[in-house]
Amino acid sequence: MSNFERVIVTCNNDYEVTFAIDHSKINEAQWHQLNNFWIDAEDRLDEADGNVMTAVLVHLAKHCMCLQVTHDYNSYGVMSAFDCEKGEGQEGWPKMDGSQGILIQHCEPFEFVVDPDCDVTSKAIDAMPKLPRPSEEWL
C-alpha cells in the first residue's frame, strides 16, 4: 500500500487544485490540528462527511484560489506563498512543498469571465445629491 495519494479538489465545477499527500509525514491528529486552527471547523468536517483530510483540502483549495486571484500567481507562486523562508508564509498553514506531507502540485489558472451587457442612461439633476450613508448592518 502506498503512502502517497493525489487529491484533486474542484470548486464551482471549474477551478481545480491538485494536491499530493505523503501520509507518512502527516497523520490524522495533524489534519485535525490544521482544521481546528480556523473557526467553523465542525461545519467543515460535517460538510466533508467526517473526513478531516477532505475538510482541510477543500479549505486549502479555497485559500489557494484567493491567493491566485489576489496575486495572479501560477502554481509555483501559490505553493511558494506558504513558505516562510520566501515571504511571510500563510498563517496556520505549513509549507506546501511536500516537506510537511502536503504538496500543492497544480492550481488551474483562474480567470474571471465577466462580460456584462451594460446599458447607460442619463438625466439632468438640479444639484449634487447627498453622500450615500452606510446601512444599519455596517454600523
Strands (E) across 4-101 are located at: 4-11, 15-22
CA neighbor of 109 nearest in space, from 75, 139, 134: 75
What percentage of the chain has pLDDT greater than the value 70? Answer: 91
Q: Per the domain annotation, does 136 fall within a domain? A: no
How far apart (Å, rounded) are the C-alpha atoms in residues 124 and 76? 52
Q: Per the domain annotation, does 53 fall within a domain? A: yes
Q: Using 50, 70 and 90 to split pLDDT, how confident is the model at 88?
A: confident
Show the domain range for 24.
4-107
Average pLDDT over residues 35-60: 96
**Tally of domains in the chain:** 1
Cβ contacts of residue 29 below 8 Å, gap of 6+?
none
The answer to whether 44 touches 35, Cβ cutoff 8 Å, is yes
Query: pTM of the predicted model, to two decimals?
Result: 0.78
pLDDT of residue 90: 93
Residue predicted with more confidence, 110 or 6? 6
pLDDT of residue 93: 95
Give me the residues paired with residue 20 across strands: 6, 103
Q: Per the domain annotation, does 30 fall within a domain? A: yes
Q: Using 50, 70 and 90 to split pLDDT, how confident is the model at 137?
A: low
